[in-house]
Amino acid sequence: MDDDYKRYIAAQARIFKALGHPSRLLMVDVLRRGEKCVCDLQALVGDDISTVSKHLSVLRDAGVVSSEKRGTSMYYRLTLGCLDNFLACTGALIEQRVLSQVRMIKAK
């Protein structure tokens, strides 16, 4: 395996790692519907502002979101547009698993 390919895979893994925390995934899911102020994301997640800012920094460093300062507020938007399809796909898998579990319980 050549080094360029390994760097390519490592860059993809960084994106998956950034998405791998429930709070970050929750923020990304909300950002699919449009940009939000960091204060809105903080209220959504329920963590202190420094923790939310750290999560957003991880997402920004991975290229998942971008930010823009307006006055005293920071706004974030999703920059990785293909996440819509990915999250819809994983959501469908989860729904199918839940339905399968419900059917198994009803069959007992």
| The pLDDT of residue 19 | 95
Is residue 92 domain-resident? no
Report yes or no on 74 lying in a domain. yes
- 103 in a domain, yes or no? no
Question: Does a structural domain hold residue 16?
Answer: yes
Asked if residue 22 belongs to a domain, the reply is yes
In a domain, 104, yes or no: no
- Tens digits of per-residue pLDDT, 2-56? 899 999 999 999 999 999 999 999 999 999 999 999 999 999 999 999 999 999 9
Residues 6+ apart with CB under 8 A from 89: none
**Domain ranges, residue 33:** 3-80
- pLDDT at residue number 104: 81
Quote the number of domains for the chain.
1
Residue 101 domain-assigned? no
Instruction: Enter the tokens of residue 73.
Output: 């507020």
CATH of residue 11 = 1.10.10.10
Q: What is the per-residue pLDDT across 74-86, written as a single tens digit (0 to 9) for each?
A: 999 999 988 888 8
Task: Decide if 36 is inside a domain.
Answer: yes
- Residue of 71, 5, 57, 1 whose CA lies nearest to 27: 57
Q: Specify whether the CB–CB gap between 75 and 38 falls below 8 A.
A: yes
Alpha-carbon distance 41 to 52, whole Å?
7
Looking at residue 106, its amino acid is K
